[in-house]
Chains A and B, each alone.
Chain A
């Protein structure tokens, strides 16, 4: 093992968290480590991790869009459209469960098996092709080095379990908290939010609009909601989500995660506000609408920078 590999393997992970964020809970069997995160970052962008070498995790979770899919619904490696839009995975480390629907996986390690192994619809489509895909990676010396750096204690480190562990570690490393909103509210820099955005904050949390009632907490997200939920009017559920229950997505980075809703039915934030105004029977003056939009934009962070290895 080279000195570099040994150093990467041994190096502890340092969280780069925004103000207000506490380190997330990490599974004891998959601790964070710089070498593992670095490997995960590379795997995330690697098309060879799909059945036909065409699609990577980043194909749907686009780093340029805060790791969300700019298409209405995501497309699997074989060209099959999925039922939903791939949401942003920034701050996924703090989520208690994953997926748009109730009953989703409760750990990233479990969740990652879905895009990797799903057969209907196919996402990355590696089911029954695991050996072939691992062989592709093992044939490349740079991949061998990267796996050794992350899992060098294992004599045969290129395994599906290690692929999943590294991807999970990388996704957990995608933490936020550097938006203008964070600087204003958690950093105490009261010049960070402009006047419009500041008034938009009050509108967002006002009882008249009630946005903060569902998009709550540090992540501006919430649990699954449908027409049966006591806090959701049937009209809201029908207009916003259609049939069934879907989780309330995070509004962090919402300026770059269009289109919106689970099926990408709203192309713009204006269209989202139109739906809510109709469903919740509130009206927004043009000025209020601009202020609310300014606040939503202020939840968006500077262009994403990959975690340093």
Chain B
């Protein structure tokens, strides 16, 4: 998703609607029409509040407003996962919020928790790939891409775009990763881009098992 959750706009926040998964993470969760009472209901309520804040952060006009929104979202998702540690969507968005605040290490921890609960959670795999990039863990970022490539071409393409952006930014403003490693990674990314174009018929989104007929 690169950095935007604009696709969220199509999601409803109405209580009582079924859990809706949007393109890059969990959507809002169904809620009873009465005041939440159980820990799970409270966790879902906090999650939904966090999702609203993430949307606000993604759409913020200034960096400061975005930072405030993501900071509040972290509080909501932290509360949600504290009450319901099995909500993989909440862990995923906790990671997202941390990453938008620039805390890639905390984001990675959260994505690890999401993926421990649901190892094939493609959205979290893609986000974690971006966290690896931010931490300069290039082999792990490659692994994230290769996990997505056969199963979810759209998210694989998004991570690949993030990789290209990362290489470009590193070349413009070198960081802690050596230039030779950046170049090597850039070549790897370029080859993936070429392969993604020429072998598009190899991967079938939504149909991880190969078949014919």
Residues A205 and B198 in contact in the complex (CB < 8 Å), given A22-B151, A186-B146, A186-B149? yes
A contacts, CB < 8 Å to B: 19-25, 91, 94-97, 185-188, 190, 201-202, 205-206, 212-213, 216-219, 221-223, 247-248
Interface string of B170-213 (1 = CB under 8 A from A): 00000000000000000110011011001101101000111111
Residue contacts A-B, CB under 8 angstroms, 22 given: A21-B150, A21-B210, A22-B150, A22-B210, A23-B209, A94-B210, A94-B212, A95-B212, A97-B213, A186-B146, A188-B142, A190-B188, A190-B191, A202-B194, A202-B198, A206-B198, A217-B201, A217-B212, A218-B210, A219-B210, A222-B212, A223-B212
Task: Report how far A91 CA is from B211 CA in the complex, Å.
Answer: 10
**Ranked 3 nearest A-B pairs via Cβ:** A218-B210, A96-B213, A22-B208
Complex Cα–Cα for A40 and B204 (A): 32
B195 touches A94 (CB 8 A): no
Question: Size of chain B's interface in residues, with CB distance under 8 A?
Answer: 24
Cβ of B201 and Cβ of A212 under 8 Å apart? Answer: yes
Secondary structure at chain B's binding surface: helix, strand, loop or mixed?
Answer: helix
Q: A19-B146, A216-B201 are in contact. Are A223 and B213 (CB under 8 A)?
A: yes
Q: Name the distance in Å between A141's Cβ and chain B's nearest Cβ.
A: 40
Complex Cα–Cα for A222 and B211 (A): 9
B149 touches A94 (CB 8 A): no
| Across-interface contacts of B201 in A (CB, < 8 A) | 205, 212-213, 216-217
Closest to B195 in A: A185
Tell me whether B198 and A96 are in contact (CB under 8 A).
no
Q: Is the CB of B209 within 8 A of A217?
A: no
Taken together as a complex, chains A and B put the C-alpha atoms of A21 and B194 apart, in Å, by: 21
Residues in B neighbouring A218, C-beta threshold 8 A: 150, 202, 210
B residues near A188, Cβ cutoff 8 Å: 142-143, 145-146, 188, 192
Contact indicator B210/A201 (Cβ below 8 Å):
no
| Smallest beta-carbon distance B152→chain A, Å | 12
Q: How many Å from the CB of B41 to the closest CB on chain A?
A: 35
